[in-house]
Amino acid sequence: MTTGWTGVFPAVTTQFNEDFSVDLNATQGVQDALVNDGVNGLIVMGTCGENNSLDPEEKRTILKAAVEVVNGRVPVVTGVSEFDTRRAVAYAKDAEKLGADGLMVLPAMVYVPKPEELVAHFKAVAEATSLPIMLYNNPPAYRVNIGVDVLRQLEDVPNIKAVKESAPDPRRFTDLINVFGDRFDIFAGLDDVALEGLLLGAKGWVSGLTSAFPRESVALVAAAERGDWEEARSIYRWFMPLLHLDAEHDLVQSIKLAEQIMGRGSERVRMPRMPLSGARRAEVTAMVEKAAATRPTLSRKAA
């Protein structure tokens, strides 16, 4: 039942030209650089990829380009974030044809479903594809919880294999494992609860700030995997001020600004998002610059 996915899966950003059209070359450049820095997989067109700001054809073009540039080096998992089930099913079918290795499926956007509607949505997408599916649970953002009651009704769907857990309560990791054992691969999905998730049995980390500091992110997970909690805590404590940004409403702008400061991408975002400005921009800039100036020395094993 396992996905076989472990380690760091950054939620990569989508890069835009000055006219806010998709910059495919720059987007591929961001993806390629992350793979070269040692990440274990890519999540394309999740929240940080501005999925809901993209046209249907843009999504398919971006996914095709990601599969092309990654060229099988790591799994490419694409976000399925649509306004209704019909469009989610259509995208899932196309994603499989375009060579995606898996899907990260969100509840339908805007409408807050009842549990039975949530189950029906996920089952419909799963039935449309043979790809392995990671469900994305983020109650603060999407106002619905993929609880034990929902997962029990999905337990017998063979290609629903993983859960990205972004509830800010680390007890969720233990509760899910206690109920389901190893039926679902659990991934930490909130940056500032990542180490807690890894300690409690998460198979990996779907990360935002990895886009700016990939080597430290890979080293953090590697340290946790080998039980070197002293090194893991050291990296985590250094990283934590930035990791808190992942829990804020302006996480996409903050992460893209961090990428730009670190020379890894552009801060351009599509409206209604706008780049950070004023005191908030100065605050995030100072945080990133401090992190860059105080980067931890990674052990050879971690690096």
Sign of CA dihedral 39, 268, 288, 52: negative
Chain position carrying tokens 């990296």: 235
Q: Which of 59, 91, 136, 203 is catalytic?
A: 136
Instruction: State the alpha helices, DSSP H only, in the chain.
Output: 24-36, 56-70, 85-97, 115-127, 139-142, 148-154, 171-180, 194-199, 214-225, 229-243, 251-261, 278-293
91 in catalytic set:
no
136 in catalytic set:
yes
Angle at CA of residue 249, ends 245 and 251, nearest 5°? 40
Give the three-class secondary structure for 137: strand
Q: Which of 59, 161, 164, 256 is catalytic?
A: 164
Q: What's the token pair of residue 184?
A: 């679902």
The secondary structure of residue 103, as a DSSP letter, is E
Preceding omega of 139 cis (within 30 degrees of 0): no
By annotation, the residues acting in catalysis are 136, 164
